[in-house]
Amino acid sequence: MTIENISVNKSFGGWQKQYSHQSKTLNCAMRFAIYLPPQISNGEKVPVLYWLSGLTCTDENFMQKAGAQRIAAELGIAIVAPDTSPRGEGVANDEGYDLGMGAGFYVNATQAPWNRHYQMYDYVVNELPAIIEASFPVSNERAISGHSMGGHGALTIAMLNPERYSSMSAFSPICNPVKAPWGKKAFTAYLGKDKATWRNHDASELMRKASQFIPAKVDQGGADDFLAEQLKPEALEAAAKVNGYPLELAIHDGYDHSYYFISSFIEEHLRFHAQHLNK
């Protein structure tokens, strides 16, 4: 697999880099960003936190706005942020911001025209980690986190692959997409009308029936405009209680859906993941 370096910036003794590559899974060119902490200069292989961003975002939003590099450098954790969807000429798209480019929802589309390119689940679970572990001084220890649509992706991907991730976390995730307008629109387009298929990508449904538990941390802003209609953290909390799932869920008064919220609590999430990666 050939990857092409686009940019390099030194940050807190480590390196912030951006790459492009031709994805076999998505049938298009893709970008990802990676932060490599200073520990790699000592020959260490470091664990990786995969970050999945939300609607309309790219690989750049988290890296530029969250302020995660300082703590990642201290803890010796690499961070990888893929783009949120396939892009480019010939890739199916929609006029709405919540479907198509920038809105891959981290599922494998089964419906035309989306199924030609929109295989984000396989990309995040298989192709991207294989590239990262072959190209950089990282171990096969992985954690996963994300925001909004990416929070949905992080929770569902981790619960569907509990052997691959030591911990999972999310900011403002779409917790019950089968009952949220964003989820209904995306799942109908990508997966078709069979709602049983939808439930395989719903964090609340998966948490309720999980038999293998992964430590989970979720933070939600209490002043988030999308809280009641789209995000539904109460459904995730109820599912965890039914199943005894190890979920830490906190609602923070006054905080909204923005990166001001994420940057306020990202240190707690990185330390949470470091605790479990170190086990």
Contact criterion met (CB below 8 Å) for 89 and 60: no
Query: What distance in Å separates the CA atoms of residue 68 and residue 66, rounded to the nearest whole number?
Result: 5
Cβ atoms < 10 Å from Cβ of 64: 12
Residue with tokens 């001001």: 260
Q: How far apart are CA 188 and CA 76, in angstroms?
A: 41
Quickly tell me which residue has 């690989």 as its tokens.
Answer: 59
Question: So which residues are the catalytic ones?
Answer: 148, 224, 257
State which amino acid sits at residue 35.
Y
Which residues face 78 on adjacent strands? 48
Nearest to 31 by CA among 10, 7, 65, 64: 7
**AA letter at 211:** S
Angstrom distances, CA of residue 118 to CA of 28, 131, 149, 162, 258:
10, 19, 15, 23, 26
